Amino acid sequence: MAATIAVVSSRVGRPGPLVTTVALLLVAATFVPLGYIVSTVFSTGLGEAIDLVFRPRVGELLRNTAGLVVITVPICVILGVGLAWVVERTAVPGAAWWGPVFAAPLAVPAFVNSYGWVSLFPTMHGLPAGVVISTMSYFPLVYLPAAATLRRLDPSVEESARALGSGPFEVFVRVVLPQLRLAILGGGLLISLHLLAEYGAFVMIRFDTFTTAIFEQYQSSFAGPAGSMLAGVLVLCCLVLLAAEAATRGNARYARIGSGAPRAANRARLGPSTIPVLAVLAAVVVGALGVPLWTIVRWLRIGGAEVWDLGEIGEALGQTVALAAMAAVIATLCAFPVAWIAVRSTSTFARIVEGANYITSSLPGIVIALAMVTVTIRWAPPLYQTVTMVVAAYVLMFLPRALVSVRAGLAQVPIGLEEVSRSLGQSGVITFLRVTLRLTAPAAASAGALVFVAVGTELTATLLLAPSGTRTLAMRFWSLSGELDYAAAAPYALIMIVAAVPVTYLLFSQSRKAAGV
């Protein structure tokens, strides 16, 4: 498949018919979830749809979900930016150590974090519990881009502002904070979308959101109109968030000409504030990493050797690796034609092809899964509850993770090298394999790794689409924790975290590399 993707027109750098066709097929597939929602509204009827949407239950879910987003996102932004400032701009002891530690919570799935907190505090429930668990799970999504941006900033600009009489706070607000705008908006959007899509973490604390309610409706009435209308409202919320982020981002430019000052910024001394600052940093680490890891170790100790059922664990691990590997390979291959068009063309078509994938990936996994269920039952019954549909859902959900890396790698490939290869008589396929693919191999490996770990911890779509007998690590963990057998669930939680650590470190390393560190 990689070879066929490489067949381009005789003019290197311009997408050929085959690349365009593959990209169009991917765009069509990405619109299946949105098409499912629209068709459901029409098939339900306008009157019934209005009755199902404008009812007290939907209002309650909307208040819960909106409250979660409105409270959690600002807290994550303040915490992420604050931690990034302390680590990158102050002489806090152990600054080099704090950086990767604050990225590490990304290796802990939110439902595992919830498992840790609920095990420690069984009475946790409702919105406050959701805010605590969500903050501890997602603040790195702001911390990482904010820290990378701070490393890239030219320190001479801040020094000039101070020389003109601005105090430290004024320098931060007027000089530094505007430069963090994209990092804050991007991180805030990702956190918001995660909050809309999360299922397991909120079920454990008995906090109802649209995703938990949709899943309950699906279990009680299969793909009934009530659940479909809830999915429609959830999709609308996602689109509103995307539009709001795009409008807030604006058209301001943040690039500079030249490399700026070839030195690191002078770090501010904390003085008497050192101990309080270290206490705050330690508290964040305890909340984000200490609680889930301590809980896992505690339950492993309580369960002893009996919880290590190597047969069950081996089967779950094998199925998880197989599904994740298939999805990673296919998503990475599918990313090439989309990335090729995005990098080698500036047309409106290129923007549509790339943007369609990002819009679909912003939809919660449960909506994508419901769309796949409906499509297979109505038009392709033999594919219902098959590995093919599970992997297809994974590709739709996580293709942008592969696309970001492949696009970056492809953008660094000099078109001149491809033209030289073609001028020497090599075909498009050979040129792709020997030149383009070789130069993009590191980016493709990174893309595959990101998709692999995302699939390894995916829960909602897997629960709806997986064939009978499927037992991934996430499914086994969810089943056992749902039975309150926390000791037996602990090995699965530990394996998921350990598997995600290398990719989390890769993300941290990439953020430092992008910043020139």
Locate the domains of the chain by residue range: 1-30+308-517, 35-250+274-297
pLDDT at site 328: 93
Strand partners, 268: 90
Q: How confident is the model at residue 293 (pLDDT cuts 50, 70, 90)?
A: very high
Name the amino acid, one letter, at 382.
Answer: P
Mean pLDDT score, 3-17: 48
Superfamily of domain 35-250+274-297 in CATH is: MetI-like (1.10.3720.10)
Mean pLDDT score, 265-273: 78
Q: Which has more confidence, 46 or 238? A: 238
pLDDT at site 150: 84
Chain centroid to Cα 258, Å, comes to 32
pLDDT at site 10: 37
Distance CA 389, CA 385 (A): 7
Distances (CA, A) of 361 to 38, 188, 189, 282, 358: 17, 16, 13, 34, 5
For residue 190, what are the contacts with CB-CB under 8 A and spacing of at least 6?
138, 141
Mean pLDDT score, 467-478: 92
Distance CA 257, CA 237 (A): 39
Distance CA 323, CA 455 (A): 8
Q: Which has more confidence, 424 or 373? A: 373
Whether 1-30+308-517 shares its CATH topology with 35-250+274-297 is answered yes
Q: How confident is the model at residue 154 (pLDDT cuts 50, 70, 90)?
A: low
pLDDT at site 270: 80
Query: Are the C-beta atoms of 77 and 188 separated by less than 8 Å?
Result: yes
Mean pLDDT score, 66-76: 96
pTM above 0.75, yes or no: yes
pLDDT tens figures, 75-112:
999 999 999 999 988 888 988 899 889 999 989 999 99
Name the amino acid, one letter, at 173.
Answer: V
Distance CA 431, CA 444 (A): 17
Name the amino acid, one letter, at 23.
Answer: A
pLDDT tens figures, 30-52:
888 888 888 887 888 778 888 88
Domain spanning 1-30+308-517, CATH architecture: Orthogonal Bundle (1.10)
Helix runs in 259-386, H state only: 274-285, 291-303, 310-344, 348-361, 365-379
131 pLDDT exceeds 90? Answer: yes
As a whole number, the mean pLDDT across the chain is 83
pLDDT tens figures, 177-228:
888 888 888 889 889 988 998 999 999 999 999 999 988 887 776 556 777 7
Q: Which helix (H) or strand (E) segment is 247 a member of?
A: helix 225-249
* Per-residue tokens: 430: 């050979």
pLDDT tens figures, 100-110:
899 999 899 99
